[in-house]
Amino acid sequence: MAGDSFIIVDLEATCWEKGTSPLRMETIEIGAVRVGGTDLRPRAEFDRFVRPVSEPILSNFCTQLTGISQDDVNGAEPFPVVFGEFLDWARTEPFMWCSWGAYDLRQLRTDCARHDLQWPLVLERHMNLKAAFAQQMGCRPLGMKEALRKLGIPLAGKHHRAIDDARNIARIGAFLLPSLHPPPAD
């Protein structure tokens, strides 16, 4: 892992108060924070809205939960374009991508399949920080807000906005990642 960075990714997707199937959901925001160096501080960010195509009208539940408006997604590019931009941004140096739980991995795979995109090999290196946190802390898997609270870190930004959640997860990562991937000895 020497010289590598970590990219903390969080997604927001279309959702409904009831009857939401994972196959029905489409990504509407990709937020990512690249952290690196010995202090694992944020070095770059990526944040784009995504226009859903199968069900382009956001539910009231979705807009209230995420704060993402219909205008935000109407003015956005569709998933293949935004995902390509994300990959171009991410590939500027070697990385391992991380997310809080397995949802983001599954959602990206679902959206790639929906749009007939090949799964990028560069995304095979994935770390589930939620599982790693539970193992390291000797607790059950926690939501991001609960993990922040357990570490005494206040929630910053709006929960359920991808870029804000990615920033918060990066703060947990600064605590967690050094024990999982210690820097090489000099």
Percent of the chain past pLDDT 90, that is, above it, reads 83
Q: Mind listing the pLDDT tens digit for each residue in 115-161?
A: 999 999 999 999 999 999 999 999 999 999 999 999 999 999 999 99
Question: What is the residue type of 109?
Answer: R
Q: Residue 2: pLDDT band by 50, 70, 90 thresholds?
A: very low
Q: What is the mean pLDDT of residues 162-177?
A: 96
Task: State whether the Cα torsion 76-77-79-85 is positive or negative.
Answer: negative
Contact 6, 24 (CB under 8 A): no
Percent of the chain past pLDDT 70, that is, above it, reads 95
Contact 172, 147 (CB under 8 A): yes
| Residue of 129 and 183 predicted with greater confidence | 129
Given a cut of 50, whether residue 166 has pLDDT beyond it is: yes
What are the two backbone dihedrals, phi and then psi, of residue 77, each rounded to the nearest 5 degrees? -80, 160
| Residue of 29 and 40 predicted with greater confidence | 29
Q: Give me the residues paired with residue 48 across strands.
A: 30
The predicted structure's pLDDT at residue 39: 84
Structural domains in the chain? 5-180 (3.30.420.10)
Given a cut of 50, whether residue 33 has pLDDT beyond it is: yes
Round to whole Å and give the CA distance between 161 and 66: 5
Given a cut of 80, whether residue 185 has pLDDT beyond it is: no
Round to whole Å and give the CA distance between 131 and 103: 12
Q: Record the pTM.
A: 0.93
Q: Mind listing the pLDDT tens digit for each residue in 64-75?
A: 999 999 999 999
The predicted structure's pLDDT at residue 18: 87
